[in-house]
Chain A
Amino acid sequence: MTWIRDLLDPKVRRWEEMYRNRWQHDSETRSTHGVNCTGGCSWIVYVKEGIVTWEMQATDYPALEAGLPRHEPRGCQRGICFSWHVYAPTRVKYPYLRGVLADLWARARAEHADPVEAWASIVEDEVSRSAYQQARGKGGLRRATWEEALDLVAASLLYTAKRYGPDRVIGFSPIPAMSMVSYAAGSRFLQLFGGALLSFYDLYADFPPASPETWGEKTDAPESADWFNSKYIVVAGSNLSMTRTPDVHFAAEARHHGAKLVVLSPDFSQVSKYADWWLPVTAGMDGALFLAVSHVLLKEFHAERDVPYFTGYLRRYSDAPFLVVLEPGPAGHVPGRMLRASELARYRGEEHAEWKPLVLDRLSGEPRMPQGSIGFRWQKEPGRWNLEPRDGQDGAEIDPVLTFLGERDAVEQVTFAEPGASRTLLRGVPVRHLETVGGQVAVTTVLDLLMAQFGVARGLEGDYPQGYDDAEAPYTPAWQERYTGIGRNTVVQLAREWAATAERTNGKCTVIIGSGVNHWYHANLHYRAAITPLVLCGCVGVSGGGLAHYTGQEKLAPTASWSALAMALDWGAPPRLQNGPSFHYVHSDQWRYEREAPEAPPAAGKFARSHTLDHQVDAVRRGWLPFYPQFDRSPIELLREAERAGARSEPEVVRWVAEQLRTRALRFAVEDPDAPENWPRVWLIWRANALLSSAKGHEYFLRHYLGLDGNAVADADAAEETVHEAVFRHPAPRGKLDLVVDVNFRMDTSALYADVVLPAATWYEKDDLNTTDLHSYIHPLGAAVPPCWESRTDWDTFKALAERVSALARDHFPEPFREVVATPLLHDTPDELAQPEVRDWVRGECDPIPGRTMPHLSVVARDYPNLHRRFCALGPRLREEGVEDRGVHIPVGDLYDAYARSAPSTEWNGVRMPSLARATEAANVVLHFAPETNGEVAWRGFQVQERRVGLPLADLAEPYRGVSYDFLAVTKQPRRILTSPCWSGITNGGRAYTSFAINVERLVPWRTLTGRQHLYLDHAAYRAFGEALPAFKPRIDAAGAGALLRSGSVPGITLNCVTPHGKWHMHTTYYDNLRMLTLSRGVEPFWLNDADAAQIGVADNDWVEVFNDNGVVVTRAVVTARVPRGLTIFYHAPERTISFPKSPLRRNRRGGGHNSLTRMRLKPVLMVGGYAQLCYRFNDYGPPSSDRDTWVVVRRLEGAPLFY
């Protein structure tokens, strides 16, 4: 007899049926979570008796090449609890109206048969308008019918278009990749209507400006499987375990393949446990450490040694050998612009010569004009836009000289600024003297400037450091200690290991970087600091190498076809696309609270402006940034005025409008943002928590958009004396928005504050598509059950709204009408060559030329009565113009015709068009016309690209030319994205996607000035702000942030407050989920260091009140040793609707969310436009709204928390 008897007898085990029955289910459907997390995980949703029961991860991703771990399973703790939301008590089941508004509407409708007139009667009456505005967010939602709600929304839209112009209607939805058809539903409606769509990527500060600065690309990141190819991984500002939960195994596994993992994190974060080295860099100071690494790299691996792989890489793939003119200055020479072909007699006749920078050729000893710069991209003769080392004029082979140290004509003393101090350093730089058409100039190379900037002496005279231990000289290992807290020996060893790894593996070093670095005001500099060691060691464009930035963007792979659909390009008009940060900075009046820009402006010159709004106004007038509303009057009315003035053709109208602007008879709306005619009026929100988690400066949103008080105590007139280019009005307007419409499945903060809430289908109730950066598959959202209760898919919601608008428009806009649309100078178009110099037409420095010195102006025809028909059909312009992404135009006319014959279609005016009436039809159109999902389209795109580049490329698509996925195919199994001419990775043969592989391996230039990776930015603004070279600027301190001017006297402890991603939610999504709240602490707490907490008498789980001039949050504290002193972490992002009490400090009003503590600050240098890679593109360029330079006071909450 044994100790423990096993039981085999099934007769006595019949009860086991119980759990078997629990497990049984009726159907399984593939879907995913349309949440802004970059996970892109395929899930199987289980349904039993028509009810969604639970979900499990799909594990059937096609394998990558041998030797790589697989992408399975994908899906995290947040995703797996989504089924809770489908039937949760927070579920929005029916349409709701704010009760006060519902009453007003009922009364108005009783008096006015016409809904538009009814709406007018409400909003034109200040009493009634104010009545429902004041009720926002304070309960009293009332169930309505869809008909009632759509009537009201459609009426508000038509009223606004009629009274103010359609550009007073705005829409917001983030991250199309997470459910691209649902995003396209609203954006397509909006663009057909003429409204403005707001960006998200830069609004979230997730967009890394250093990426376009360096590569001319918003972001292009390796898929997570490529981390496994890396041999040295530095993780900075990215808590992989939290934010890349389904991907972090690749990092963990790479270590077992011999990779070293170094984690830079101010706190002992979750990913720190994986590290070989955890380096607690002071928050917001990462740049200093990376710059010191580059100091060591430049000294030991470039100056003291010649590593052929590194120098070969720099010569071919970077701007390091390009010539920079040294301009004489008062103290010493100053690095100036890159020397251009237009300045040399030999090349001055070249097309776009001023856009073709030069190098010095070792073979001829002469300056030469390498192919591949941006001038070659847009010249008439194709075939020379490539990275072959040849002269663009005669095709002669060239070998660019990297440094003039050996063969110099002279050594000039050049001035360099010391970060965070006023000291100017003079350092010797080797130069050559060249004869230009303007006389002799001194030039040096970018690499020589880098050596000097980083303080690598190389035997040259000047203020060079004595060695690594020279703590006073910028960028030495000893210098960085004061900012980062990390010792010099560690930094030196890191640099040496890094370079040794790169040298032995040809560049297999990776920096995985994220919002912990990117959300700071000077993020672009921190990123460039991290990019520099990658470029210096040849890591970019290499499998297992490069910058892996993942923050929020969630790559939408089939962009070319999708953007046609989403921006209604198939019907023609240039879309109104606005960068969110500028929009909200201006319209939510956050600029008014800012006395001056957070960093000192240049002492003199064009950029010596004290207030950021002045830069913003300049940027709009110069065509650098978009802005809506456009003008101080309706764009429909403007067109009529032009016609009355005799302008007939589009060019005549455009000329007339430009002239009105020049004479100031017409003004940009941004020049007087608080004038009622310039306010945004109706806001459509879908797939978003626009009023909270997306609303940096949330309390200002409440005050100036919604008309509530908010909890800010900051001075609303701070900017009065410092703003010069815009009108300052008294008092600051409150309640600019007439109507806020939220399409939502969750009663989140935005829904709670909206006027109209429309019930949305959840991610388990609709068909859609999903892609991400983190893997290379496309897969669907699928309807496991039909939309529950009265919810609708976003596609059906906007289709219904379009139908209602078209019906009402028969009375109000019976005929097609025309209006004027202003759009900025755009990246990946010839606009990149628009402004070789910064000249202001406003100041008479040049003529106002639309599309060159100012925004483009177009005349657009709109047809509201047929808006619904247009929404539901793929328009003929796609057939004529093809699809386009990143400057690659792909013809699809024959595909369109064939598709229209085979797919569901609609006939209108004798033209057969593919139908878009259903979401699956839209999804199929996206799949059919995208190079990433249809090999034929990819092949054609590469053919087009081959002609421009002049090198073979189509072979990349040849093996997949016959491959094409439709919606059914992706529901059966996730499908791998094909190698695409619009992207830079190569996925052939199961290779992990790595960014810029096509550039490195196929010599396709980066979309930058030189066509190479830019370490040097010669635009006048970058030189003026001291950011031409990689540099360091510290985080903004409490005083500089100006957030405690009116609240700093309350006793407590002052801390830097950061909001990294939380473990129990994705932004606010899932925050209200009971599973997540149970596994956390039932409320989002502030994490405090134990010594800091002791100082204010706070024990673990005590309630704290956290505040600054922007607002207040009341929640619990978690006291822990793993957070450093001086820092508090408030994980992004709580819903202020769950368990948040009132604030005694702020008159016992409800405490806010994380964004109650923030106020937007824009960085002026990032507004530059019309200049090569420094050119606007929606979501992909412009000043982000940073949030980490936030300072708060924390104190113990007095008394018990008060909820009601």
Chain B
Amino acid sequence: MDVRAQVSMVFHLDKCIGCHTCSIACKNLWTDRRGAEYMWWNNVETKPGTGYPTLYEDQEKYRGGWEAGAGRPRLKLGGRLAELARIFHNPRLPALDDYYEPWTYRYDQLIGAPPSDDQPVATPVSLVTGEDMKIEAGPNWDDDLGGSSIYAAADPNVEALTDSERGQLLAFERLVFFYLPRICNHCLNPGCLAACPAGAIYKRGEDGIVLVSQHKCRGWRMCISGCPYKKTYFNWANGKAEKCILCYPRQETQQVPACMHSCVGRIRYLGVLLYDAERLAATAALPDAELVEAQRALILDPFDPEIAAAAREAGMPEAILEAARRSPVFQFVKRFRLALPHHPEFRTLPMLFYVPPLLPVMATVSDGHYEVTPELLSSLDASRLPLRYLAAMFTAGEVAPIVEVYRKLVAARLYQRATTVGDVPRESATHALEEAGLSAQDAEEIYRLTALASFEERFVVPPFFREGAIESVEDVHEHQEEEGAGFLRPPRRGW
């Protein structure tokens, strides 16, 4: 056993508003620089939809991620030789148009407008070329089903559906949508890392954060191809790849990543997961149907004394172990099995997990009048969204794990309804819990975690022992003394 710690995340999609506050928190802090304007390390997509960059989930198009191999996975992009051959021309790379051409406006045409015969207006202009432009795409173009017959219809996840199910998703009375916020998954088996010819990408040992060294990056962009989520980006101004850094400068100072801090829907959770690195390669090579369960198995129980002992043996500080025990992510992913990885079939073993959304019940139209399915609450049977759609997104097509999650979500609500109102008979709530494999206490805890958890409970940032890291480079006391005197141009001795 090789016990390691990873800062991991759960996004509870049922609670997501699609507000994009997270996206802007991230952009403000990290990517409003020249060359990075088009980057949204954190973005939010409407599903069904094609996402950003467009159709990124379609690996027929982009060849990102991994394929099952014998005992260990293979990069879909091909081996190192094939990769080298594409260094100077990579047809699998998204072009700027697959993202969007960033723009601004000629705002100076307002205050600075000369006298004329009509009201002045600020017109759009490209941030790349400086020329006038027509705005035809953006990082959130199909928001809230905008252009649904083009974008929602082209969502790769609808391929798994029947024609009538696909039609339903585009019919006014039966349609539905939800939001999918995305950041780098900080995978256990990152495609970007494996694809980098320069060895510039690494996983930080203490927290598993995947970074692109801005010193070592040579701008080959293979990481962009290798990542099936398209969460590494190319800074066109300085020629380096950049990606989500999980706000390590904030975490190292015990602050929560900006996108999570700012999540006003309170959908995000962050905490340490322990995993067994020894089994990584084998897990990533399993058949599709086994991936979700196998990834869960990879995650270790910090309450298990044997695992704690192995962790200590591997040199893991007690405080990390303690953080892992307080981790809300562990509760959602491992204990309650409610949170699922995004496209496990990409085999990068993403460490961001999603709780699927409860959605309105289906309706029918008769005599021109709209009647809902007479269910009290959102239900599995009357779901507006075909389960196979969710399976395509979260379980490599397996419906059973989706059903399991929904049984639990629905049962936990029925239990609360029975307890707090009583118009649902207690027996049916109990029955629902049993079917979902939950105890009443489980239901209470799921409720608490979902609805009541405070900032401090949602985000359990582990200690980072920065003094230890600095000590290996220089004396910490000296570092402390020098740090405040950081001159951009240090004064030089002389006269």
Contacts of A137 in B (CB 8 A): 119
Does A868 interact with chain B (Cβ within 8 Å)?
Answer: no
Would B27 and A486 count as touching, CB distance under 8 A? no
Complex Cα–Cα for A74 and B416 (A):
26
A/B pair count, beta carbons within 8 Å: 381
Stretch binding the partner chain, chosen from A86-94, A176-184, A438-446, A765-773: A86-94
Contacts of A5 in B (CB 8 A): 202-203
CB < 8 Å: which of A6, A70, A486 contacts B205? A6
Complex Cα–Cα for A12 and B213 (A):
9
Would B278 and A2 count as touching, CB distance under 8 A? yes
Does B4 interact with chain A (Cβ within 8 Å)?
Answer: yes
A67-B452, A252-B15 as given contacts; A141 in contact with B176, CB under 8 Å:
no
Contacts of A275 in B (CB 8 A): 360
Would B17 and A56 count as touching, CB distance under 8 A? no
Does B8 interact with chain A (Cβ within 8 Å)?
Answer: no
A23-B29, A77-B21, A1080-B140 as given contacts; A1150 in contact with B118, CB under 8 Å:
yes
Q: Which of A640-668 contact B (CB under 8 A)?
A: none
A69-B266, A747-B110 as given contacts; A1120 in contact with B145, CB under 8 Å:
yes
Q: How far is the CB of A84 from chain B (nearest CB, A)?
A: 8
Does B423 interact with chain A (Cβ within 8 Å)?
Answer: yes
Complex Cα–Cα for A139 and B124 (A):
19
Q: B161-177: contact bitstring with A at CB < 8 Å (1 yes, 0 no)?
A: 00000000011110111
Contacts of A253 in B (CB 8 A): 15, 266, 450-452
Q: How far is the CB of B343 from chain A (nearest CB, A)?
A: 18
Would B149 and A15 count as touching, CB distance under 8 A? no
Complex Cα–Cα for A829 and B304 (A):
71
Would B123 and A81 count as touching, CB distance under 8 A? no
Contacts of B141 in A (CB 8 A): 1081
Would B416 and A1082 count as touching, CB distance under 8 A? no
Does B485 interact with chain A (Cβ within 8 Å)?
Answer: no
Would A268 and B24 count as touching, CB distance under 8 A? no
Would B172 and A280 count as touching, CB distance under 8 A? yes
On chain A, the number of residues with a Cβ less than 8 Å from chain B's Cβ atoms is: 134
Complex Cα–Cα for A273 and B265 (A):
13
On chain B, the number of residues with a Cβ less than 8 Å from chain A's Cβ atoms is: 136
Would A273 and B115 count as touching, CB distance under 8 A? no
Would A140 and B103 count as touching, CB distance under 8 A? no
Most buried by A among B177, B371, B419: B371
Would A54 and B105 count as touching, CB distance under 8 A? no
Residue of A nearest to B450 (CB): A256
CB < 8 Å: which of A255, A268, A747 contacts B111? A747
Contacts of B122 in A (CB 8 A): 1072, 1137-1139
Does B455 interact with chain A (Cβ within 8 Å)?
Answer: yes
CB < 8 Å: which of B27, B148, B416 contacts A1121? B148
Does B237 interact with chain A (Cβ within 8 Å)?
Answer: no
Residue of B nearest to A60 (CB): B455
Most buried by B among A69, A258, A263, A1140: A258
CB < 8 Å: which of B105, B146, B371, B423 contacts A497? B423
Complex Cα–Cα for A252 and B376 (A):
16
Would A3 and B17 count as touching, CB distance under 8 A? no
Does B128 interact with chain A (Cβ within 8 Å)?
Answer: no
Does A7 interact with chain B (Cβ within 8 Å)?
Answer: yes
Residue of A nearest to B115 (CB): A140
Complex Cα–Cα for A1081 and B139 (A):
9
A88-B107, A500-B423 as given contacts; A1122 in contact with B144, CB under 8 Å:
yes
A13-B204, A256-B413 as given contacts; A1078 in contact with B103, CB under 8 Å:
yes
Does A845 interact with chain B (Cβ within 8 Å)?
Answer: no
Would A257 and B172 count as touching, CB distance under 8 A? no
Would A485 and B368 count as touching, CB distance under 8 A? yes
Residue of B nearest to A497 (CB): B376
Contacts of B118 in A (CB 8 A): 138, 1142, 1149-1150
Stretch binding the partner chain, chosen from B242-250, B387-395, B432-440: B242-250
Complex Cα–Cα for A10 and B377 (A):
53
Does B233 interact with chain A (Cβ within 8 Å)?
Answer: no
Would B188 and A276 count as touching, CB distance under 8 A? no
Would B147 and A1118 count as touching, CB distance under 8 A? yes
Q: How far is the CB of A1065 from chain B (nearest CB, A)?
A: 13
Does A833 interact with chain B (Cβ within 8 Å)?
Answer: no
Q: How far is the CB of B430 from chain A (nearest CB, A)?
A: 15
Q: A474-513: contact bitstring with B at CB < 8 Å (1 yes, 0 no)?
A: 0000000100011111100100010011001100000000
Contacts of A1140 in B (CB 8 A): 121
Q: A1079-1107: contact bitstring with B at CB < 8 Å (1 yes, 0 no)?
A: 11111010101100000000011000000
Does A248 interact with chain B (Cβ within 8 Å)?
Answer: yes
Would A4 and B372 count as touching, CB distance under 8 A? no
Does B398 interact with chain A (Cβ within 8 Å)?
Answer: no
Q: How far is the CB of A609 from chain B (nearest CB, A)?
A: 38
Does A876 interact with chain B (Cβ within 8 Å)?
Answer: no
Contacts of A92 in B (CB 8 A): 111
Does A279 interact with chain B (Cβ within 8 Å)?
Answer: yes
Contacts of A15 in B (CB 8 A): 213-216
Would A276 and B421 count as touching, CB distance under 8 A? no
Would B121 and A1138 count as touching, CB distance under 8 A? yes
CB < 8 Å: which of B2, B413, B455 contacts A73? B455
A90-B110, A1075-B24, A1137-B122 as given contacts; A1083 in contact with B176, CB under 8 Å:
no
Q: How far is the CB of B335 from chain A (nearest CB, A)?
A: 17
Does A1132 interact with chain B (Cβ within 8 Å)?
Answer: no
Contacts of B135 in A (CB 8 A): 1081-1083
Most buried by B among A18, A23, A1075: A23
Would B205 and A1137 count as touching, CB distance under 8 A? no
Contacts of B418 in A (CB 8 A): 258
Complex Cα–Cα for A245 and B150 (A):
28
A14-B473, A241-B19, A481-B369 as given contacts; A73 in contact with B262, CB under 8 Å:
yes
Would A255 and B413 count as touching, CB distance under 8 A? yes
Would A273 and B176 count as touching, CB distance under 8 A? yes
Would B143 and A1063 count as touching, CB distance under 8 A? yes
Does B469 interact with chain A (Cβ within 8 Å)?
Answer: yes
Would B248 and A19 count as touching, CB distance under 8 A? yes
Does A517 interact with chain B (Cβ within 8 Å)?
Answer: no
CB < 8 Å: which of B119, B173, B248, B249 contacts A1136? B119
Would B110 and A16 count as touching, CB distance under 8 A? no
Complex Cα–Cα for A272 and B144 (A):
11
Would B175 and A1121 count as touching, CB distance under 8 A? yes
Does B296 interact with chain A (Cβ within 8 Å)?
Answer: no
Contacts of A80 in B (CB 8 A): 21, 24-25, 28, 262
Does B129 interact with chain A (Cβ within 8 Å)?
Answer: no
Most buried by B among A3, A53, A1087: A3
Residue of B nearest to A278 (CB): B360
Does A669 interact with chain B (Cβ within 8 Å)?
Answer: no
Identify the A interface with B (CB < 8 A): 2-16, 18-20, 22-24, 53-57, 59, 63, 67-70, 72-77, 79-81, 83, 88-90, 92, 96, 99-100, 135, 137-141, 228, 231, 241, 245-246, 248-249, 252-258, 260, 263, 268, 270, 272-280, 481, 485-490, 493, 497, 500-501, 504-505, 747, 752-753, 1063, 1072, 1074-1075, 1077-1083, 1085, 1087, 1089-1090, 1100-1101, 1118-1125, 1136-1142, 1149-1150, 1203-1204
A to B CB contacts below 8 Å, 28 in the list: A2-B278, A7-B203, A19-B30, A57-B264, A69-B266, A75-B21, A76-B264, A80-B24, A80-B262, A137-B119, A139-B115, A241-B19, A253-B15, A253-B266, A258-B419, A270-B144, A276-B378, A487-B369, A487-B370, A487-B371, A1072-B122, A1085-B146, A1121-B145, A1122-B177, A1136-B121, A1137-B119, A1137-B121, A1204-B123
| Contacts A20-B249, A241-B17, A275-B360 known; 4 new A-B pairs at CB < 8 A | A73-B455, A1079-B143, A1082-B124, A1101-B147
Identify the B interface with A (CB < 8 A): 2, 4, 14-15, 17-21, 23-25, 27-30, 72, 102-105, 107-108, 110-111, 113-124, 135-136, 138-141, 143-150, 152, 170-173, 175-179, 188-190, 193-194, 202-206, 208, 211, 213-216, 245, 247-250, 252, 258, 261-266, 277-278, 280-281, 284, 357-361, 363, 366-372, 374-378, 412-423, 446-447, 450-452, 454-455, 469-470, 472-473
